[in-house]
Structure 1
Amino acid sequence: MRTFERINELAKKRGIGLRALASKAGLGETTIYGWKKRTPDSSKLESVAKVLGVSVDYLLGKEEKDTNKDYDGEVEEALNSARMYQGKPISDAQRETIKGIVKAYLDAQDKDK
């Protein structure tokens, strides 16, 4: 699987479109689409990997398994469904904070087993 296809597949699993993914990664809206035909710049690929919560090696196909915990996708889905709190939209900063708290909690649960 090529890098573009892997990114597209992960974005779909996370419930995010490629334009939105590019925007969150600080890239131009159509940058990722250009990766269908050319190799992405490493710094841009790092930004996308960070947003998707995977390693660059995974996006490049050097790792076959997503090294993140199985619950990463579930945490993203939960955050995608929680669009408002007290009548106000959840900001990107708040989403990242919530994600960090949930991951830390689940990691602690894994250690207790």
Structure 2
Amino acid sequence: MSVFERIKKLSDKRGISLQKVAEDNDFSSNLIYRWKKSDPKGKDLAKIANYFHVTTDYILGLTDDPSVPDSPERKLTWRDLGQNYGGDDPVPDEFQTMIDSLAEGYFKAHPELKHKNDE
């Protein structure tokens, strides 16, 4: 799926026109349509990603997960854990609780790692 197609899909999902998306982002009315044949500038891509609350990687087609990391909508997936069998299916809440407990215990046992990550 191209950049244009991803943006079109996002705008359709919201029920807004591409002209409205362009207008809301202070773009010329046809700029997004030009992305059918050319790549957007990084700053324009970032504006669109912010507008739709997705990552630039999603718009570029580098991932199929549109959610922004650390977003409340993003859930840990099996693929995040290196498990192919579950793919992009979310990890069940019970398992997520176990992972959180393991991580908490690990950092309690190794406080130097927590401080290292804070730097």
Scaled to the shorter chain, the TM-score interval is 0.5 to 0.7
Corresponding letter in the other structure for 1:66 = P
The structure number with the bigger radius of gyration is: 2
**In structure 2, C-alpha distance between the alignment counterparts of 1:13 and 1:49, rounded to whole Å:** 14
Confirm or deny that 1:28 pairs with 2:43: no
**In structure 2, C-alpha distance between the alignment counterparts of 1:65 and 1:54, rounded to whole Å:** 8
Aligned twin of 2:39: 39
Specify the SS of the correspondent of 1:36. coil
**In structure 2, C-alpha distance between the alignment counterparts of 1:23 and 1:12, rounded to whole Å:** 16
If each structure's helix is expressed as a fraction of its own residues, which one has the higher value?
1
CA contact (8 A) 2:53 2:67 kept: no
Aligned twin of 2:85: none
Aligned twin of 1:11: 11
CA contact (8 A) 1:25 1:48 kept: yes
1:84-99 pair list within 5 angstroms: none
Q: Post-superposition shift, 1:30? A: 0.7
Aligned twin of 2:80: none
**In structure 1, C-alpha distance between the alignment counterparts of 2:26 and 2:55, rounded to whole Å:** 17
> Structure 1: which 4+ aligned runs deviate by more than 2 Å?
none
Aligned twin of 1:63: 63
**In structure 1, C-alpha distance between the alignment counterparts of 2:29 and 2:53, rounded to whole Å:** 19
Cα offsets for 1:71-90 (capped at 9, x unmatched):
xxxxxxxxxxxxxxxxxxxx
CA contact (8 A) 1:4 1:36 kept: yes
The percentage of counterpart residues that share the same residue type is 36
**In structure 2, C-alpha distance between the alignment counterparts of 1:59 and 1:7, rounded to whole Å:** 7
**In structure 1, C-alpha distance between the alignment counterparts of 2:28 and 2:46, rounded to whole Å:** 15
Consecutive unaligned residues of structure 2, counting only runs of 5 or more, are 75-119
CA contact (8 A) 1:3 1:60 kept: yes
Structure number with greater CO (CA < 8 Å, separation at least 6) is: 1
Aligned twin of 2:51: 51
| Number of aligned residue pairs | 70
Q: Post-superposition shift, 1:21? A: 0.2
